[in-house]
Amino acid sequence: MSAAPSGPGRPRDPEVDRRITQAALDVFGEAGWAGFAMETVARRAGIGKATLYLRWSSKELLLTDALTAGLPRVSDVDTGTLHGDLVELATQILTLYIGPGSRAALRLNLEAATIPGIAEHYARIRSSQISAARDIVRRGVTRGELPDSVPITLLVDTLTGGAMMHALTTPPDERATRLKAAPHHAQQLVTFLLHSVS
């Protein structure tokens, strides 16, 4: 997490940071911004409130750092083939929306624009994700793996929507199993999609 470095004294405990990150994601995912409070996060993490305030001066900074440290990134990847790249992209999306921070990721989609200090951070993340997905498809066109006429936005939307719908319809008691199976499902999704467009 990118909190201000601590001064002299005991070094930061990575396990405490991990617990704080997960607690912040859990509280945000369950209660949204309206229910997100430093006291609640501290209680969930099993630490004193003073420990949080030594690291973060506001709940906006705490949530920003928790989202940065705790949510998987959806980013560009180049495996050398369009199929491989899209499988990696779909796996990243599935991991984001099925994994331990899934509820926080969904809340972020719904509430980010209304949270002071988070809106700009979220806009940068979304812009980076969209650019990465479009770059993957453009490389596929350049390599001749897709025709020039393929609608890039529609292809990306279909892939992203398919991965997100799979995540959203996953029952809570099946999340761990489906998270492990995410690469396999991503393979099936991408194979079906590329067969349809090519």
What's the average pLDDT block by block, 10 residues per block, for the chain (198 residues)? 47 85 96 96 95 92 93 90 96 94 92 88 86 94 94 94 94 94 97 91
Burial annotation 9-42 (CB, 10 A radius, 16+ → b, else e): eeeeeeeebebbbbbbbbbbbeebbeebebebbb
pTM (predicted TM-score): 0.85
| pLDDT of amino acid 8 | 44
Domains present along the chain, CATH in parentheses:
14-69 (1.10.10.60), 71-197 (1.10.357.10)
* 57 and 153 Cβ atoms separated by less than 8 Å: no
